[in-house]
Structure 1
């Protein structure tokens, strides 16, 4: 074979090799393009999957689910339990999210959790041992308020009108249902024929968080009764030993709450009332007169003291038929642990300081001394 023939063969081989390279490049490019497309689609799917897993299972859920976290549970088992109970979407995502935020020290216990809770809220609950949720709003109920005053506050904070609130708490079926749910605090005493409102004094003063924009009147009332039940439970043994009732305690405490000023000694006022009750002397406390009248007055007149009403402690001996307002813990404690005195009279001066005495003559002198010019 000549030199020219060899060159031609080599040239043809080079052309064939170039064609092969082009084909390989095209195949590689095609494969790379397919991989890229798959990668893009996959990454979007993964992103969507992770994003959804970080969201609450049901943001609108109001249901609470009891979840038991045993002692010694690790992060993996806790995450699996939450997924099994439907509280979270994905156990692995929860686990990675907790680790990423350096959260792993969780407490054992029984939790009332919701599908509407975020991962952060769940983590805070498991860390503190308490159910943690960011409330949509709160309702602050101060001490010394009547049921009607509470209804006005609820109306300002919710879509529940004062009228709807009062209609609910006065409804006989409502009272029957609530007595069944709260047998330790709601007894037949609230059905006394002289009672103005069965639930008067039974809605505990506190700041209440709510986790939905428009809670029902049932939810609002039962949330407050839950607080009452929780706060009164420590006193049940004492009441049983003294053969007294929750109704008696709340009625007595409501008088202290309404008589109280910023500087009032509730324990000493309680002793005055106890001393009067012991000798069958009328309590003669002005707040009961105002409650009987159903109106607020800056000053109680002598004619007001004569109003014929079961709540007027100027004309009826003993405690009134029921509470005249809600009472805080300090007033309840004062009923349980009053001061040991022989006082029968007291009055508050213009600065709110109380002056006590055990004789009517001294009481009149205190009136002249501290209230002259009224």
Structure 2
């Protein structure tokens, strides 16, 4: 081999190696593209199958009961068990994608010729209401006495009987053994009613006119359990709070806020105050301690010596002060992170946030007369 050839040999080797690398990279890119295409095609055909009727030739009616307070995930599981859809989890995500979450409880006649969109539409339209003997709605933020009153008004049960059951420690102990999210915390001496905050606000319907109180309460607790688990799953949150603490904070947020944005902001303020070892100082806990709904909270009111008075006691109150809805519970897992330590709610519903006590006091002085005038106007109308 000549000297010139010897000099060119490394260059030839480098070129050969470069071609090999290019071929390897090309094959890797092609393999990746093929895998992506396979994934996209697989996903496409899966979604197509999941949305299509299970059997276009079988129109045999299938009676499906959607229980009161069922979650979207729970409804998906029911439909999958009845072989009306391919997958309950896909149903849940598709329903949320379509913003179709306001399903109505009841008994439906569906069949396997219905596609997913038709099923969603039917569940939102609702069943034949005449099939139900008992129907009532519990709004968010009610005290347990108010819930008992609503149940008594809409059923054949006496209000005293409802309260006796809800106050029963033996009944509460049995429920602690039955439900994982119920703990011994609900049996604490400072708790007024063991199930305060645990009866989920929603519409409840029952076929039987003589539906027992136990069945009614069980439906409400089951709904709370399902919603709580669903929120935990969807938020992927791992905070240090147990369900009792979450519902306690959520109940305060529910009583303080009117919008989803304010719920998350107020949740953030509560966490900031707890982290700074500040008392929560929230008016709804004072009203709960007083045992009456207060239009305004006075200096005399906040002097009450009571475990639920967050002006006098540090940390969380012993338990929930009302029944929070899903959005208030979700706010505890997804609070808005800010530097705010104070908030003030105006008569108009607007909530004003501040970082310092001086700012808060200035806001308080600016808008306090609104509440005084509104209270005087209300008293004059009465």
Give TM-score, length-normalised by structure 1.
0.65
- Determine whether 1:196 maps to 2:196: no
- Determine whether 1:124 maps to 2:110: yes
- Determine whether 1:348 maps to 2:331: no
Q: Determine if contact 1:262/1:352 at 8 Å carries over to the other structure.
A: no
**Match of residue 325 from structure 1:** 322
**Match of residue 95 from structure 1:** none
Match of 1:145 among 142, 148, 154: 142
Match of 2:169 among 164, 168, 172: 172
Match of 1:109 among 74, 81, 88: 81
Where does structure 2 lack aligned partners over 5 or more consecutive residues? 1-53, 64-78, 84-106, 373-382
1:132, distance to aligned residue in structure 2 (A): 6.3
Q: How does 1:1-374 map to 2 (within 5 A)?
A: 75=58, 109-110=81-82, 123-124=109-110, 128=119, 134-183=131-180, 185-236=181-232, 241-261=238-258, 265-372=262-369, 374=372
Compared CA separation, residues 271 and 212, structure 1 to 2 (3 A)? same
C-alpha separation between the residues in 2 aligned to 1:138 and 1:188? Answer: 32
1:170, distance to aligned residue in structure 2 (A): 1.5
227-236 or 346-355, which deviates more: 227-236
Length, aligned pairs only: 268
C-alpha separation between the residues in 2 aligned to 1:311 and 1:153? Answer: 25
Q: Determine if contact 1:147/1:200 at 8 Å carries over to the other structure.
A: yes
232-241 or 264-273, which deviates more: 232-241
1:140, distance to aligned residue in structure 2 (A): 0.2
C-alpha separation between the residues in 2 aligned to 1:108 and 1:268? Answer: 38
C-alpha separation between the residues in 1 aligned to 2:294 and 2:239? Answer: 36
Compared CA separation, residues 350 and 243, structure 1 to 2 (3 A)? closer
Where does structure 1 lack aligned partners over 5 or more consecutive residues? 1-70, 83-106, 112-120
Q: Write out per-residue CA displacement over residues 222-266 of structure 1, whole angstroms, 9 at most, x where no aligned residue.
A: 111111111111245679832321111100000000112358611
1:138, distance to aligned residue in structure 2 (A): 1.3
Q: Determine if contact 2:231/2:330 at 8 Å carries over to the other structure.
A: no
- Structure number with greater Rg is 1
Compared CA separation, residues 341 and 203, structure 1 to 2 (3 A)? same
1:369, distance to aligned residue in structure 2 (A): 1.9
Q: Write out per-residue CA displacement over residues 45-96 of structure 1, whole angstroms, 9 at most, x where no aligned residue.
A: xxxxxxxxxxxxxxxxxxxxxxxxxx879859x79x99xxxxxxxxxxxxxx
1:125, distance to aligned residue in structure 2 (A): 7.1
Compared CA separation, residues 73 and 178, structure 1 to 2 (3 A)? farther
Give TM-score, length-normalised by structure 2.
0.64
C-alpha separation between the residues in 1 aligned to 2:169 and 2:111? Answer: 38
